[in-house]
Amino acid sequence: MKATVLFFLFLLSCNSYNSENIKSSDTISKEAIAKHANNLLKDAMINSLSIGITYNGSDYIEHFGELDKGQNNKPTNRTIYEIASVTKTFLGTLIAQAELEGKLSLDDDIRKYLDGDYDNLQYDTKPILIRHLLTHTSSLPGGIPGIDELFKEFNAALPYKVHRIESKYTKEQFFKDLGELELSIMPGTTFNYSTIGTELATYIIEKVYEKTFDEIIAEKIGRKIQIPDTRVELNEEQLTRLANGYGMDGKKTIHMESKLWGGSGAGKSTPADLMNYMKFLLNKENKAAVNTFNTLYDAETIYGDSNNKVGFFWIMNEEANFGKAVSHHGGAFGMQNWLHIFPESNLGLWIITNQSGLETSGKLDGLKQNILNELRKTNSH
């Protein structure tokens, strides 16, 4: 996408996070969190960590390790990371906003927004609805042709194989393939994580607003909070701040590339931006953000947990001490991150590392649990 986006319009300072102004209090124990982060850095595969927390008016943001071992280049609040599928949460917020504005309905047949008949995008007369795209119940394939098969074998060469396909797959081919699909399951009945469905949702939101995904993020979210580095397409200056990523063999790997709309996982952001975004999501005055936590699907066991529910791309559950738990994972070729929101406790937590392997997600999840334990202990005193 090529877009000139105006940032910092109508900024609401009460929701903005300035990277030079870090607040902290006894609510968040910096020393305790640093202890757990540094313990994870003992893992030879983990180069660096960035952690952001906002909790009941107290903020914590810190960086550990080196982006590139031996280079003494510690991450900063302005380091740009690939946030991968966490991008979907921005898309979900935009769709919720469009619903509030009456520009679309979650029960719209997606073909309302497509050029052409696409008679194939229904099963036994039941069409795919926008809500099915949001909940990964559209019955569409997981990935573009040729991708799903590659994930049967995980090794350090996988990113390069995936990149060869994704970097050449055009929007024109996307719609051609979409018109040739045959649905084998009724939409709305089975959870199947689908980047095809998410890219289609991104196309729809662009068509609704007649702007690019980046422009809509800047207009609908960026007018309320400072997120100047949250976008799909980076400019030349931003590219100089894009962190290197490291793969499952510990070696530097390539960045993701797509010629599609980018909502499924092509987004980039910084710790400073994500801090502001977490505050935006926790602000109950932002009705679109709050609405994304509404349950849209809970008819089956998802990811092995019968208590999991699906919102606007979010996976939602309950946490014993912090209440409703809303989360999304993002995995790029050389980076992984988790975004956790606990709206009932006014708590947001984001963790990222510039390493991606089969065990990375679990390692970050373990760090998340240690941080929650520290927050629990601090606030029980």
- Per the structure, the complete domain to which residue 276 belongs is given by 13-378
Mean pLDDT calculated for residue range 137-141: 97
* 2 inside domain: no
Q: Alpha-carbon distance 144 to 163, whole Å?
A: 12
Residue type, 244: N
- Please write the tens of the pLDDT for every residue from 111-135: 999 999 999 999 999 999 999 999 9
Closest CA to 85 of 177, 227, 193: 193
* 6 inside domain: no
- Name the domain count of the chain: 1
* 138 inside domain: yes
For residues 347-370, one letter each, b for 16 or more C-beta atoms within 10 angstroms of the residue's C-beta and e for the rest, the string is bbbbbbbbbbbeebbebbeebbeb
Q: Can you give the pTM of this predicted structure?
A: 0.92
* 1 inside domain: no
- Please write the tens of the pLDDT for every residue from 230-278: 999 999 999 999 999 999 999 999 999 999 999 999 999 999 999 999 9
pLDDT reported for residue 2: 32
* 322 inside domain: yes
Q: Alpha-carbon distance 217 to 202, whole Å?
A: 11
* 163 inside domain: yes
DSSP string, 335-360: -EEEEEEEGGGTEEEEEEESB--TTH
- Please write the tens of the pLDDT for every residue from 179-209: 999 999 999 999 999 999 999 999 999 999 9
pLDDT reported for residue 380: 64
* 272 inside domain: yes
- The first and second tokens of residue 335, run together, are 């980076």
In this structure, what CATH number is given to the domain that contains residue 290? 3.40.710.10
Percent of the chain topping pLDDT 90: 89
Residue 16 has pLDDT above 50, yes or no: no
The residue with tokens 């740009």 is: 80
